[in-house]
Amino acid sequence: MTLEVKISKELVPYKSAFAFLKRRVDSIKEHKNDDLLWILEHPLTFTSGLRSKENELLDKKIKLIKTNRGGKITLHNPGQKIIYFAIDLNKRKKDIRNLVNHIEKSIIEFLKLYKIIGLANKDNIGIWVDDRKIAAIGIRVTNWVAYHGCSINISNKLEPYKKIVPCGIDNTKVTSVVNETNVKIRNIEIKLKNIFLKNLKNI
């Protein structure tokens, strides 16, 4: 199955990325475009998913962007890698859990490169290092086209998490790759691309 890879070197505003993603989903539904894997970073942005609650926003001065992905309130900022998808499950297995499993597998495999043991948690979606969350996952499916994706904390500042209850969990239990290892971080986009492409072939 053809899967276009897009890697953005500059920060992409969240609203611009979301608009692009929605257009891509529409074109995939109309059989006018290939599936997409997009690796990027956002400027400091707080977004709320469909299960967000008002009391999870601790700093009421925050400008919160509402989105249609699954999940709750989360943070995006420079140093955090976003991996967005637009994937037509009509041409693959119509199995959302299978897709999420392969996203989890890809993140865990990526973290292993830095000697970090990541674990999935069936009660709290995302990837964890012991009791600290290092990656978030949020998916939406429309007409069996799955989109949005996941975020992995690499070298981003974690202080802004104190302004929210991230993904509904204690904001002190958030971590990043640089917090967990002394291994040098290089060629992140290439590593992510290779791992996700390999695993997505199996969905």
* CATH number of the domain to which 19 belongs: 3.30.930.10
Predicted confidence (pLDDT) at residue 82 exceeds the cutoff of 70: yes
The residue annotated as part of the active site, out of 150, 167, 177, 200, is 167
Neighbours of 3 (CB within 10 A): 15
Count of structural domains within the chain: 1
Q: Give the mean pLDDT of 67-93.
A: 92
What confidence category does residue 166 fall into, taking pLDDT thresholds of 50, 70 and 90?
Answer: confident
Residue identified by tokens 């970073």 is: 41
Q: Quick check: is 150 catalytic? A: no
Identity of the amino acid at 49: G
Least confident among 13-17, 68-72, 181-185: 68-72
DSSP state of 163: G
Q: What is the CA radius of gyration of the chain?
A: 16
CA separation for the pair 159, 161 (Å, rounded): 5
* pTM of the shown model: 0.93
CA separation for the pair 1, 13 (Å, rounded): 29
Q: Give the mean pLDDT of 123-151.
A: 93
Where in the sequence is the domain holding 148, given as residue range(s)? Answer: 3-200
Backbone angles phi, psi at 11, to 5 degrees: -65, 135
